[in-house]
Structure 1
Amino acid sequence: AVEQLQGASVPASALEKLVLPSRVGDYTPAMLDELTAAGELVWAGAGALPGKDGWVSLYLADAAPLLLPPPHPLEQTALHASVLDALSGGYGLFFRQIADRVRATTHPEATDPELADALWDLVWSGRLTNDTLAPMRALLGSGRTAGSTAHRAKRAVPRGRYGSLT
């Protein structure tokens, strides 16, 4: 099923509720997590959608370098640049490790919600990914909406290891 979907952008909110269950009998999220954790599958953001949703594409790891499109345009802030710098070593980091590095180098005042927003901007633009879809599931289930500051303070910290796609 993934081979046929490679590179097709679908709303993240529909990927595991509509798309994969219609193509894979008895689909469970653990199936996708197993493939991503094993390094066999890569997922990438392919543009933001209103609110907390975004376009997402799946790629077999062997084909990803050939099929991944260039990142989408992003009005990059200093915080975005600091997050990318924290990940410039070529390996994945957990959210707390990224936050600690960003705060230790350039943005000591950055809050977890601000850092999470910067991470998601970078994910949806196709610059970062994660070794699991758990952060995407948490985001989609969090009720976050654009401009909702009261809800942002309650948002869970993204889990999994983030890494650069570029």
Structure 2
Amino acid sequence: PLAALPAFLADWQGFGTLGSGVDGLREGLGRPWGDPAPAPVWEEEILPARVDGYQPAWLDALFAETELAWAGCGAQRLTFLLPFDRELVVEPSDDPELETALAEVRALFPAGAGRFTLAELAAHSGLASAELTRRLWRLAWLGVVTNDGFAAVRRGIESGFEPATQPPPAHGHGTRRRLRFAQWQGTRPLVGSWLPTLPGPAEDDPLAVEELVRDRVRLLLQRYGVVFRELLARELPALQWGRIARTLRLLELGGEAVGGPFFEGIGGLQLASPAAVRRLERGVVDDRVVAIPALDPASPCGLGLPDLPALPRRVAGNWTVWHGARLVVVVERRGAALTLHVPPDHPTLPAFLGVLKQLLGRAVRPVPAITVETVNGEPAATSPYRPALAALAQTVTDGQGLRLLRRW
């Protein structure tokens, strides 16, 4: 039944089974490989949900020890990949904006291959660091430059991907006020080194083009196990249904994919990898509790399938919590609105609400406090679920809501 789809996707993508540390993160990045998401969401939601106790140092270690890279794929959106996988998700384009961007890259970077600090690029281009920073981020989101680490992205998130500017002189004084340290740091050159990632020419050999599309299909089958039109609507253009459906059928003929009505309620064609078919035959794990961010590739939010339960919008700050195939908690607006589908005395309720502790305690930009305004549409302060919320964190009544504070 379609109700089993969320549990299957979570199980297929390793939720609750990956462990922690660099090895857990390496495995955790395997399924969302090539998936586009807003830059902050990766370390605030997707990776902490997948890898127990996620720490940014683990991601830094992977960048330092492997060829892991990130690629921009739209305004302040990025994905993780290996350099030789880039053509799977970033395809050549004759967009005039891209042509202009490529010319700008050639002007900003010295000729020849290499990695360059912002200071080196400023010396070469003659641009001030602030203007150069703006240009690099704009080019990064177009996918034509990147940085060799993730620390630059973290710093960009803190500053809104804009360099901090010197504040105006204080009123009545001729000297400029001192910058606070964070502001001063924001005006300094970005960490790491930058490198161009210019797309190669469009392939004109039909056999090579077909093999590239086959690799894209294999990437999608590795990520989802089962693919169908609605699931791929949120992918980058090169990975959407209309671009890969014909090749999917060819892989089915070759035995790399299996067609069938794996989930009832999906009107069109469904194809699965043989490994996913075997997983489906074993049945979904019905006693695992998993919390899935709405923007995670494993999330059913936004699919628009009528037989799924009511789900929140596919935006940052929304989560769903599942007990096997059953939806038990919906978190919206970073905890402001909770919908609970179990009674207040349910024995597993503390585990279901553990996502709120995760928001308060995550390693990257933890939420300082969660103000729960409503529970099941009623004021949180008088909700029968208040004792369960109070058991998670320090609780302060805030009007008709409850303010949850992390216990130190």
Give TM-score, length-normalised by structure 1: 0.77
Amino acid corresponding to residue 164 of structure 1 in structure 2 = P
Work out which of the residue numbers 133, 139, 150 in structure 2 matches 1:122.
Answer: 139
Counterpart secondary structure, 1:36? helix
Are the counterparts in 2 of residues 3 and 59 from structure 1 also a CA contact under 8 Å?
Answer: no
Count of aligned positions: 151
2:154 counterpart letter in structure 1: R
Residues 35/115 of structure 1: CA separation in 2 closer, same or farther (3 Å cut): same
Q: Which runs of 5+ in 2 are unaligned?
A: 1-27, 168-182, 199-408
**Which secondary structure state, in structure 2, belongs to the residue aligned with residue 47 of structure 1?**
coil
The yes-or-no answer on 1:67 pairing with 2:88 is yes
Of 145, 149, 156 in structure 1, the residue corresponding to residue 188 of structure 2 is: 156
CA spacing shift, 1:150–1:78, aligned 2, 3 Å: farther
Distance 1:71 1:113, change over 3 A: farther
Instruction: State the secondary structure of the residue aligned to 1:76.
Output: helix
Write the distance in 2 (CA, Å) between the matches of 1:158 and 1:3. Answer: 28
One of 68, 72, 75 as aligned partner of 1:45: 72
Cα gap change, 1:66 to 1:7, in 2 (>3 Å): same
TM-score, reference length from structure 2: 0.34
Q: 1:28 Cα deviation (Å)?
A: 0.9
| C-alpha deviation, 1:137, in angstroms | 0.5
Distance 1:140 1:5 in 2: 21
- Indicate the residue corresponding to 1:55 in structure 2: 77
Distance 1:18 1:122, change over 3 A: same
1:1-33 per-position Cα deviation (integer Å, ceiling 9, x unaligned):
111011100100111011111011111111111
Distance change >3 Å, CA 134–CA 60, structure 1 → 2: same
Post-superposition CA distance 1:56-101 (Å, at most 9, x none):
100145x524424136844539755421x32x42111111111111
Tell me what 1:28 maps to: 55
Alpha carbons of 1:93 and 1:77: their partners in 2 closer, same or farther (altered >3 Å)? closer
2 CA distance for matches of 1:128 and 1:76? Answer: 10
Q: Does the residue aligned with 2:188 lie in a helix, a strand or coil?
A: coil
Q: 1:78 to 1:4 in 2, by over 3 A?
A: closer
1:9 to 27, 36, 40: 36
From 92, 97, 113, give the equivalent of 2:120.
Answer: 97
The CA distance in 2 between the partners of 1:123 and 1:98, in whole Å, is 15
CA RMSD, Structure 1 to Structure 2 (Å): 2.8
User: Which amino acid counterpart does residue 160 of structure 1 have in structure 2?
Assistant: G
Q: Which has the larger displacement, 7-16 or 148-157?
A: 148-157
Structure 1 match to 2:107:
82
Q: Secondary structure at the match of 2:136?
A: helix
Q: For residues 162 and 144 of structure 1, do their structure 2 counterparts lie closer, same or farther at Cα, with a shift above 3 Å needed? A: closer
From 135, 138, 155, give the equivalent of 1:138. Answer: 155
User: How far has the Cα of 1:138 moved from its partner?
Assistant: 0.6
Relative distance call for 1:120 and 1:78 in structure 2 (3 A) is same
Alignment-mate amino acid for residue 30 of structure 2: E
CA distance in 2, matches of 1:28, 1:149: 30
More deviation in 120-129 or 35-44? 35-44
Q: Which residue of the partner structure matches residue 106 of structure 1?
A: none
Taking only the aligned residue pairs, the percentage that are identical comes to: 30
Are the counterparts in 2 of residues 2 and 60 from structure 1 also a CA contact under 8 Å?
no
